Amino acid sequence: MVAMMQAAARTSDPAAAMARLMDHAKYSNMCYSSDGDPEALANDMTRFALRPVNLGPVGTIIPKFFSSGTVWNGNVAVGQTATRSSGQAARATLTYSFPDDGPTWGTTTSGFTPAPNALNAAITALFGASAQDRGRELCRQALASWRRSAGIDYTEVSDDQSNFSNSTLKSGTRGDIRIGGIPLGRTTTVLAYNSFPSSGGDMVINTSYMTGTTQLASFSNGYRYWRNVVAHEHGHGLGYQHVIPCSGTFLMEPQISTNYNMVTIDERRGAGRNYGDRLSGNNAAVRAVDIGNLTSPAFRSVRLLDLSTNGPTGTNSSNQDWFRFTVSSSQRVIISATPTGGSYLNDPQTSNCTNPASPTTINATDAGDLALRVYTSNGQTLLFESALNGVGVAETIDQTFDPGTYTIQVVDVLPGTSSSSTVQLYDLAALVPGFTSEPQAIAGINKRIAANTNCYFIGDVNSRATNPGGSISSYAWDLDANGTFENNSAQPNRTYPSNGVFPVTLRVTDNQGRIATDTINVTVFGATTSINSVTPANAALGVTVPVVILGANFMGVTNASQVDFGPGITVSGTPAVSLLGTRIDGLSITTSPSATPGSRDVTISNSDGLGSAGTGFAEFSIDPPLATPLCVGDIAYDNGVPLPPFGLDPGAANNGLTEGDYNLFFSSYFDALPWCDIADDSGFAPPRPGEANNGVTEADYNVFFSVYFNGCP
């Protein structure tokens, strides 16, 4: 790029050369630091004019929403194109991945030289060797800010460690979008750049800004700077262009600001255009979103924020949304659809932050004219309608509903003002007078983590209250899917010992005591199957006993045939594996009467898809057969001399007690002699003299102790 800049200075037509250079940069969406070195910023103004990737030659004006003509689909088979044309307000399912350090990362069309991926090393240098997932989770929360408002679902997958790619084909070995980083240096204010969906959608973070305590390394507001950079770059990866004015108001401005928390009003409207809102797909009564029972088991209100319609003629019926609610008793319900957005200045960036001199005023509240309707449960019979208030004004239905289920339709019936784009944001409310609504919980996005490494969660940067003036007062997490919220931190971490998919649930409570939950899946990989103990650790020949096995990575144990105690032992039953895969109940072992006594290795084969198996060495043993008694009373089968102090001569002391002491004790036990009643219970009646004690008589005791001290006759 430097050589090209020098060539531009020598050309006879510098303006044309600069235009070619700017067009050359069109495949490298970038975001810039507003607090970087002034000389670096001036250099970037000359070099890039702070432009992102453009959609055509320099000076081309981008249509409203400032998005490319291509956005993600993602819902396709491996090998098919995972993108589609924009403007359809259709839900997308995306996979994402973090490549290891090493693969060549970046593209020359950015104006920077590709280099080996170094994002993971930069994260561990900043957070520590045991906290790599903390930095990755900040990236995930940036993607989750799009999930909070847009019809986009994310699932993390493994990465095949291939080099940076512009492919738009669905891969079975890596994510649709990939996040990596290389050091671009601090002589540029470029913090990161990202390809559009039409060029693969992958992200390059400038790891040079991940040191110290500023820019990407700033911990202020929960690393908001970092999260805003990644959310901005992923905005390019979703198909969105830079916007102006550069006032620190919108996420997609070319210069990063911390005045906002990730996705803002303009990005929500753009997301509504291309992907729909977070409930996208509810465009018919049969696909209505169920907002629940408003009267049972408790009275409640519902507020759904930042929903959207896609214009009166929106494709795929995206001009309408449907919802369903139930009341179990006669109840007044106030239903409203309130347009939101307000007015703001907005235009696509075509050269730098000063064009045009007077940006367009967007009246987002007046983008459409909403109608509000309530139907019977099947959506066939219209019961109530509010469609008279006009553009930008809330529509309300205030009625007492008989017990039953009803459907709500919000539909854009007329275009809004000419200065506004098609998408109309609105808030839906179904209010039971006197009762508040639940907050919105966002636990993040589906993720994956290596077993036995710290897995981080963040619940407080995207969750929010929905009641006017409300706030979140507490957080709780069920991290092991046992139904108990065991961690009350907003940002906990834990390790997982077994491979598998673990549902993790965040519960948030607002200042009105209202509760909401959100569940993501954590996929754990890389665990090794191990056996720590077997209880009981031994058994006699010819018996059947239940066993409990403790260890790790048992999630894939579903059949008794996967557990092997060696020859002569049969395993039966159905394994009941604990939630974290560390314990197996439900199995029994049967020892053959002819099995060879001695210690056994226990092996478990795990059908977790990784072919892993583990062995507990000498964790179980079969007892040797009992010997034949040498005489009556030799219950130890040892002629009265198994171990000291057994087999003492008559009258010798056994731990200070002689045979005479034993005789006196048992005489007292059976005959209640008061002077030697060491139990102080008058002979522990019953039994009385001559009676059996658990089937053993006084005579039996006399025989046993005779053998105990004297051996067999």
Top mean-pLDDT range of 57-61, 355-359, 465-469, 606-610 = 465-469
What region, left, alpha or beta, does residue 258 occupy, with left being phi > 0 and alpha being psi -120 to 50 degrees? alpha
Contacts of 195 (CB under 8 A, 6+ apart): 27, 28, 29, 53, 107, 166, 201, 202, 236, 237
Q: What is the tens place of the pLDDT at every residue in 149-171? A: 999 999 999 999 999 999 999 99
Please give the C-alpha separations between residue 482 and each of 19, 490, 502, in angstroms, as whole numbers: 61, 19, 10
Q: What local confidence, expressed as pLDDT, does residue 137 receive? A: 98
Q: What local confidence, expressed as pLDDT, does residue 610 receive? A: 60
CA-based nearest residue to 506, from 529, 524, 489, 528: 489
- Architecture of 285-431 per CATH? Sandwich (2.60)
Q: What is the tens place of the pLDDT at every residue in 334-353? A: 999 999 999 998 888 877 77
CA-based nearest residue to 708, from 618, 664, 644: 644
Asked whether the predicted pLDDT for residue 16 surpasses 60, the reply is no
CA dihedral 484, 485, 486, 491 (to 10 degrees): 150
Q: What local confidence, expressed as pLDDT, does residue 94 receive? A: 96
Q: What local confidence, expressed as pLDDT, does residue 20 receive? A: 41
Q: What local confidence, expressed as pLDDT, does residue 192 receive? A: 95
Domain 33-49+66-272: which CATH number of 3.60.40.10, 3.40.390.10, 2.40.160.10, 3.40.50.800 = 3.40.390.10
The phi, psi pair for 369, rounded to 5°, reads -120, 105
Q: What local confidence, expressed as pLDDT, does residue 111 receive? A: 86
Q: Count Cβ atoms below 10 Å from residue 18 Cβ, excluding itself.
A: 17
Per CATH, 33-49+66-272 and 447-525 having the same topology is answered: no
Q: What is the tens place of the pLDDT at every residue in 473-523? A: 999 999 999 999 999 999 999 999 999 999 999 999 999 999 999 999 999
Order across the sheet with 583-591: list the strands.
530-535, 544-552, 583-591, 569-577
Place of tokens 């819902």: 75
Domain 447-525: which CATH number of 3.40.50.300, 2.30.30.230, 2.60.40.10, 3.40.50.1010 = 2.60.40.10
SS3 call for 423: coil
Q: What local confidence, expressed as pLDDT, does residue 625 receive? A: 84
Place of tokens 């890039």: 48
Q: What local confidence, expressed as pLDDT, does residue 667 receive? A: 62
Domain 530-622: which CATH number of 2.70.170.10, 3.30.230.30, 2.60.40.10, 3.40.30.10 = 2.60.40.10
The more confidently predicted of residues 555 and 372 is: 372
Report domain extents, the chain. 33-49+66-272, 285-431, 447-525, 530-622, 627-713
Say which range, 21-35, 447-461, 556-570, 664-678, has the weakest mean pLDDT: 21-35
Q: What local confidence, expressed as pLDDT, does residue 11 receive? A: 36
Q: What local confidence, expressed as pLDDT, does residue 354 receive? A: 65
Q: CB of 203 within 8 A of CB of 38? A: no
Q: How far apart are CA 459 and CA 504, in angstroms?
A: 11
Q: What local confidence, expressed as pLDDT, does residue 693 receive? A: 53
The more confidently predicted of residues 274 and 56 is: 274
Asked whether the predicted pLDDT for residue 395 surpasses 50, the reply is yes
Q: CB of 200 within 8 A of CB of 167? A: yes
State pTM to two decimals.
0.82
The phi, psi pair for 418, rounded to 5°, reads -65, -25
Question: Averaged over 57-73, what is the pLDDT?
Answer: 56
SS3 call for 53: coil
Token pair belonging to 185: 């240096």
Question: Averaged over 319-333, what is the pLDDT?
Answer: 98
Say which range, 70-79, 99-108, 248-257, 651-660, has the weakest mean pLDDT: 651-660
CA 313, 89, 309 angle in degrees (round to 5)?
A: 55
Q: CB of 335 within 8 A of CB of 321? A: no
Question: Averaged over 178-204, what is the pLDDT?
Answer: 94
Question: Averaged over 656-668, what is the pLDDT?
Answer: 57
User: What letter represents residue 173's amino acid?
Assistant: T
The more confidently predicted of residues 55 and 616 is: 616
Q: What is the tens place of the pLDDT at every residue in 258-294? A: 999 999 999 999 999 999 999 999 999 999 999 999 9
Q: CB of 445 within 8 A of CB of 462? A: no
Q: How far apart are CA 292 and CA 558, in angstroms?
A: 36
Q: What local confidence, expressed as pLDDT, does residue 670 receive? A: 58
